[in-house]
């Protein structure tokens, strides 16, 4: 549909406003991360751009530098102890391990399940699909307390064994991600006509060969999109990670510890927060095209 000129302009203005509204907090966060303490905590005015940028917050959180030393080197602020507590390198590794692990598990299971749901007729398929979706309606907090108990009994907490702790988090993230991942993957498989499977079978392919050599390569964009979505969820998840682990501190949980009884370290919070956006941002850029198609669940064509 062609819009008339005034409507076009209005549409563009609204689009810019909405985007600005959503982008502003991120911009503010990024700004805060490079502000010196004096600019963050200026009690007389809001500082926008007139400050001397500093990398101290990144240095401390991402590189494990000592804050007191940096502060003295750069001649700003007073030295504060306890720099160790702000070194987030271990958290970044924890988050990476858990997110990549759970994404891999989820993607493999979701791709296989979705192919079956899309292609094979079996008793209770529709019910199963609804049930899968139903899982997603449950808020994690509703199952949190039993889950902690189950994890403790099953030895999936990091208090006993660090590796079991990683495994535990991967498992719960995989479980939470599976419904949406299965549905998303199913919509991608549904977009590939069944005739293609049949053509491959007539060409002499077995079911497995049809899946591996024909259908899977045709949905690889969809697989990437699904994986990114799972990754982002695991990367940003806070509640379960907070309750199920003690030693392992994923990035969101780590950031929360910067809110202390002696004050909020806004600079560190902003630096780690900004840095944490970057992987998601890159992945989203890479699979954007497929995501839009997948999330409309196949209702748009090309």
What residue ranges bind other proteins (CB under 8 A)? 193, 195-196, 198-206, 209, 213-214, 217-218, 220
Q: Which is nearer to other proteins, 202 or 285 (CB)?
A: 202
Q: Which is nearer to other proteins, 23 or 199 (CB)?
A: 199
DSSP annotation string for 3-60: PPHHHHHHHHHHHHHHHHHHHHHHHHHHHHHTS-HHHHT-SSS--SS-S----HHHHH
CB of 127 to other proteins, least distance (A): 17
CB of 61 to other proteins, least distance (A): 43
Half-sphere exposure for 65 (CA within 13 Å, toward CB)? 17
Q: Which is nearer to other proteins, 12 or 203 (CB)?
A: 203
* Residues 182, 147: Cα–Cα separation, whole Å: 23
> Which residues on neighbouring strands pair with residue 263, listed in sequence order?
260
Residues 6+ apart with CB under 8 A from 87: 60, 61, 64
CB of 293 to other proteins, least distance (A): 14
Q: Which is nearer to other proteins, 200 or 275 (CB)?
A: 200
* Residues 65, 113: Cα–Cα separation, whole Å: 46
What is the signed CA dihedral for 245, 249, 255, 256, rounded to 10 degrees? 20
CB of 206 to other proteins, least distance (A): 8
Structure tokens at 124: 């209770």
Half-sphere exposure for 162 (CA within 13 Å, toward CB)? 5
| Count of positions (residues) in the chain | 302
* Residues 230, 153: Cα–Cα separation, whole Å: 27
Q: Which is nearer to other proteins, 155 or 193 (CB)?
A: 193
CB of 112 to other proteins, least distance (A): 19
Residue 227, SS3 per DSSP? helix
Q: Which is nearer to other proteins, 38 or 209 (CB)?
A: 209
CB of 228 to other proteins, least distance (A): 20
Determine contact, residues 268/256, Cβ cutoff 8 Å: no
Q: Which is nearer to other proteins, 2 or 195 (CB)?
A: 195
Residue 259, SS3 per DSSP? strand
CB of 198 to other proteins, least distance (A): 5
């Amino acid at each position: 549909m062609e819009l008339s000129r005034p409507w076009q302009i209005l549409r563009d203005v609204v689009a810019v406003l909405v985007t600005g509204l959503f982008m502003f907090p991120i911009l503010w966060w990024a700004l805060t991360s490079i502000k010196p303490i004096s600019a963050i905590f200026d009690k007389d005015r809001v500082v926008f751009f007139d400050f001397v940028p500093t990398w101290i917050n990144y240095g401390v959180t991402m590189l494990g530098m000592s804050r007191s030393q940096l502060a003295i080197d750069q001649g700003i602020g007073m030295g504060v102890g306890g720099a160790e507590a702000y070194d987030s390198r271990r958290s970044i590794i924890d988050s990476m391990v858990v997110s990549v692990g759970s994404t891999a598990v989820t993607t493999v299971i979701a791709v296989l399940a979705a192919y079956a749901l899309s292609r094979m007729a079996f008793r209770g398929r529709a019910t199963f699909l609804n049930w899968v979706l139903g899982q997603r309606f449950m808020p994690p907090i509703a199952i949190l307390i039993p889950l902690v108990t189950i994890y403790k009994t099953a030895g999936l907490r990091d208090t006993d064994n660090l590796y079991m702790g990683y495994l535990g988090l991967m498992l719960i993230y995989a479980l939470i991600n599976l419904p949406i991942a299965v549905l998303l993957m199913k919509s991608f498989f549904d977009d590939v006509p069944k005739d293609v499977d049949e053509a491959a079978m007539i060409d002499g392919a077995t079911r497995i060969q049809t899946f591996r050599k024909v259908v899977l390569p045709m949905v690889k964009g969809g697989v990437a999109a699904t994986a990114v979505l799972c990754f982002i969820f695991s990367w940003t998840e806070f509640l379960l990670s907070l309750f199920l682990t003690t030693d392992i501190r994923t990035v969101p949980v780590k950031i929360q510890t910067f809110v202390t009884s002696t004050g909020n370290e806004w600079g560190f919070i902003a630096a780690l927060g900004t840095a944490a956006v970057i992987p998601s941002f890159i992945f989203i850029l890479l699979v954007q095209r497929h995501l839009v198609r997948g999330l409309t669940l196949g209702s748009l064509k090309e």
